[in-house]
Each structure stands twice: as C-alpha cells, then as structure tokens.
Amino acid sequence: MTLGLQGDELLPQLRDVLLPSPTIPTPFKVESGGTGHPPASCDGRRRRRRGSKRGRDDDNGEQQHEEPPRHSCKTSRKMKQRQKKMSSTSSLVTSVPDFDGYQWRKYGQKHIEGAMYARSYYRCIRSAEQGCPAKRTVQRNDDGGAAPKYTVVYMGEHTCTANDSMEAPVILETAVPVTSTNNKRPQNDNDTSPATSAGSYRSTTSTSTSTVTGIESPAAISDITYWSSSSASSDYVVDVYDGCGLFGVHDSWAPATAAASSLQEMEDYFTGPIRSPVHIAATADGWMIDHFLLQLAASNDQPLFPHFSLFS
C-alpha cells in the first residue's frame, strides 16, 4: 500500500543497490558481448529414456544394457555451444539469496566437488518468453554456523521487462531488532537450494527465509533508508556505488571475496541489537512483509514498527 508506490519507481535503482547488477563493472570477465545469444536450443539434444527420479528406483541395470546412443544426432554436437562466459558475472555472499527482487526458475542442481552442499542453478523466469539471459547459481557455504550463508553468482544481464506490478520489490523500513535467538536459519538446513526467490508467490516450501539479516551494509542501508522513506532521488546509487560497484573495496559492503572478518561484522551487526533500520525487500503484494512481520510478532513482544502496517 503505502510502500508499493515509491517502490515502483525505485525498483530499477533498488535492484542495482541490493543486488550485484550485472551491469556493474566487475574485475573479472569483460568480453564483449561475446557469447551474445547462442542458438537458443537445439532440440536435437539427447533423448534420455528415464529422466525420472525419486520413487522410480526399481529401474536397475540401466547402463548394463546397451544404452541408447548418447547423441542421436552426432552432427549437431556443436550446436550445443554452451555459453560458458556470460557477458557479465558477479557474486556475493548472503544469508538471504532469495531477496534479490527477481524471479528465478531452478533448472538444475549439482553437487560440486569440494563443496559440502550442492549448487543450484537458476535462470530468469522469463528466459523462455523474453529470452532473458540472466542466470544465477546459489550455493550454500560450508559454515556450520547458525546463519547459513549462500554464495550467489549472477551471470548475464536481465533483458526482460518485469511488467508485472507484483514483482516490484520494495524496501521496508523497520526498527525491530533481530536477535540471534530468533534468527533461525531458513527451514531445512540440509536443503541446499533456497528454491524460488523473492517475487515468487509460489514459494514452495515457504522458503521465505526467516532470517532477515540482509546483505546490505550499514552504509548502504542508511542510504536506502533515506530515499526509500522519502521521495525518490536519483543520486543514491552514486552514493552507494560510488563508482566502485558493489564489489569494490569500499567501506560499504564487500561480498564475495570479502574477508571473513567483515562478513562476521555484518553478521553481528544484523544479529545484534538494532542500531539502525533494517530493510528487507518485498514484493508489492506484501507477502514477504507479511511473513516477516508475523515472525517478528511471534518471536518478540516488542511493539511493531511504526513505519508501516501490515497488509492483508
């Protein structure tokens, strides 16, 4: 309601701040469009005969037999042309991989060699209709801590147009402390895939993480606070980015390759007593907000924030 309005116009900018926009100049990769848009897909791909999964294990001795030829059309091998290097990539470490304002569809999961948890592969939910090349991978870090961290790698830029009003993420301002006791990890910790993201109303396993610890740095938050609660301005991005991009060695946040110490600091900041408003992204329809508030209300007996009211 009162929140969605500004959020709409701030959306693009907001995204830039909250997530590692692919447009950010990053140290790695550069390549001119390079891969551009490889041939969408060659339907001549392999024709797997099972592709099943759970509940279908009776199927034994599959490789014993003469497996059907791996590639039916050997001539079209190169058509595959996997786009390894996307036009841009960026990564960050966050405890809330879902809150990035975009909608993703999981298309695969893979156990990575030295990693303890599997890596999940997502692509923009509109990659099909609009051919949006944006992708991301989410992998839970190997920290046994109470607050699981995820390394999120974004690849490619979003070329899609999110015309759905419901997808506009909004930053909320709250003044509620998030104590470490209440700060439980998102549902099942052995699950490595945070499933769908923010805008997804589907949110299968109620993935809407209970953690509110954001990925924003205190500094960034301040900035966000400013323009999110007041009328929009166009300078904020500059302030936050300051030309360094989110991954610069700024005093702000240093995701990905950041030193463990800073991450720890961030963690403490968010799990400790509140010192400044915490912001969370939410969809315009407010489901996330709802969730968030409910949790806080349930765990704390603190007065609810005066800054906004509950939807529904």
Q: How many residues bind DNA (CB under 7 A)?
A: 54
Q: Which is nearer to DNA, 29 or 48 (CB)?
A: 48
Q: The dihedral of CA 168, 171, 177, 178: what is its sign?
A: positive
Tell me the C-alpha distance between 256 and 277, whole Å.
Answer: 24
Tell me the C-alpha distance between 95 and 213, whole Å.
Answer: 7
Q: Which stretch in 23-31, 66-74, 227-235, 303-311 sits in contact with DNA by CB under 7 A?
A: 66-74
In the complex, minimum distance from the CB of residue 31 to DNA, in angstroms, rounded to a whole number? 13
State yes or no: residue 137 binds DNA (CB under 7 A).
yes
Mask for 72-101, x = binds DNA (CB under 7 A): -----xx-xxxxx-----------------
* Residue 173 phi, psi (nearest 5): -110, 130
In the complex, minimum distance from the CB of residue 278 to DNA, in angstroms, rounded to a whole number? 26
State yes or no: residue 65 binds DNA (CB under 7 A).
no
In the complex, minimum distance from the CB of residue 35 to DNA, in angstroms, rounded to a whole number? 10
State yes or no: residue 54 binds DNA (CB under 7 A).
yes
Q: Which is nearer to DNA, 35 or 180 (CB)?
A: 35
Tell me the C-alpha distance between 176 and 299, whole Å.
Answer: 11
In the complex, minimum distance from the CB of residue 61 to DNA, in angstroms, rounded to a whole number? 11
Q: Which is nearer to DNA, 81 or 264 (CB)?
A: 81
Tell me the C-alpha distance between 137 and 198, whole Å.
Answer: 15
- Considering only 165, 206, 302, 309, the residue that binds DNA (CB under 7 A) is 206
- Considering only 31, 67, 142, 189, the residue that binds DNA (CB under 7 A) is 67
- Considering only 5, 29, 34, 110, the residue that binds DNA (CB under 7 A) is 110
State yes or no: residue 151 binds DNA (CB under 7 A).
no
Q: Which stretch in 120-128, 169-177, 216-224, 269-277 sits in contact with DNA by CB under 7 A?
A: 120-128
Tell me the CB-side half-sphere exposure of residue 82, using CA atoms within 13 A. Answer: 2
Q: Which stretch in 21-29, 42-50, 142-150, 265-273 sits in contact with DNA by CB under 7 A?
A: 42-50
Binding site residues, DNA, CB under 7 A: 41, 43, 45-56, 62-63, 67-68, 70-71, 77-78, 80-84, 105-114, 119-121, 123, 125, 135, 137, 191, 193, 195-196, 200, 202-206
